[in-house]
Amino acid sequence: MRRFALSLAAVLVVGTVLSSAEMASATTGHVKPVITATQVTFTIPSTPVGVWQLGLTTYPPPVTHLGKVQGTSGTLTLPVPKTATCSFQADVKVSVNGGPLMMYSSAKAVVPGCGPAGNGTRFTPGYWKNHEAATTALLPQTLGGYTVSTFAQAQAIFDAMKCSDGVNCLAGHLLAAQLDVANGSSNCIAPTIAAANLFLSNVPYTGPGNYGMNQQAVNLAATLDNYTNDSTSTTC
């Protein structure tokens, strides 16, 4: 008999008995991992409580395993390497109450310019703000724990990036840099992108708002700004 089969009348999850109907409801609308040219991320939901695992492989089969990471809260992140096809699958599994890892959600994506290579043209925040089709084609993107899924969200972030507010400033420059990389520009900026995402996760960033001045955010934004403004694509 399979463990945790949904045909059982009830299952035990973290000390709470859930009916089969409740379990079926809990498996809908799952949070999915997000894959970009530089990284794959998954923000751990509040329920169920357990040990979460994010894994990355190539796609389609035969697959090559590219990495895995585990945690109980926050955002799980893995780097996306350079591959021949830039086609990936990310799988999320969870172990509840000491049980086996069970599949939770997954995502597939082709991300041009993946990994450390890529010499595509870099574009500024102003470009992405005013080119809806180009921007939408490269969404979603994650900024810390905040997912940018629509062009309207992206526009709002670019509109708010006045650098009197360091966090809003950083979010706009980070989004532009990630769109550049997803569009095929160099991944040499990956360490700064990772640092900026970690910073926004810790804020936490929840979209345009009033965050105030922060010098670390301004410094990270300046590095990203230099990257997106280098139309020669020769430096980071």
What is the average pLDDT across 10-33?
A: 46
pLDDT of residue 23: 36
pLDDT of residue 37: 74
Question: Cα dihedral angle (191, 50, 53, 40), rounded to 10 degrees?
Answer: -40
Q: Which of 232, 230, 143, 155 shows the shortest CA–CA distance to 193?
A: 143
Above 50 in pLDDT, residue 4?
Answer: no
Q: Which helix (H) or strand (E) holds 57?
A: strand 51-58
All domains of the chain in start order, with CATH = 27-110 (2.60.40.10), 125-228 (no CATH)
**Sheet strands (E) in the chain:** 10-13, 16-19, 34-35, 39-43, 51-58, 65-71, 75-79, 87-95, 102-110, 141-143, 146-148
pLDDT of residue 116: 58
Rounded CA gap, 166 and 143, in Å? 14
Above 70 in pLDDT, residue 153?
Answer: yes
Q: Which helix (H) or strand (E) holds 234?
A: none
When the pLDDT of each residue in the chain is averaged and rounded to a whole number, the result is 83
pLDDT of residue 150: 94
Tokens of 33: 């991992």
Range from 29-43, 107-121, 183-197 carrying the lowest mean pLDDT: 107-121
The arrangement of strands across the sheet holding 39-43 comes to 34-35, 39-43, 75-79
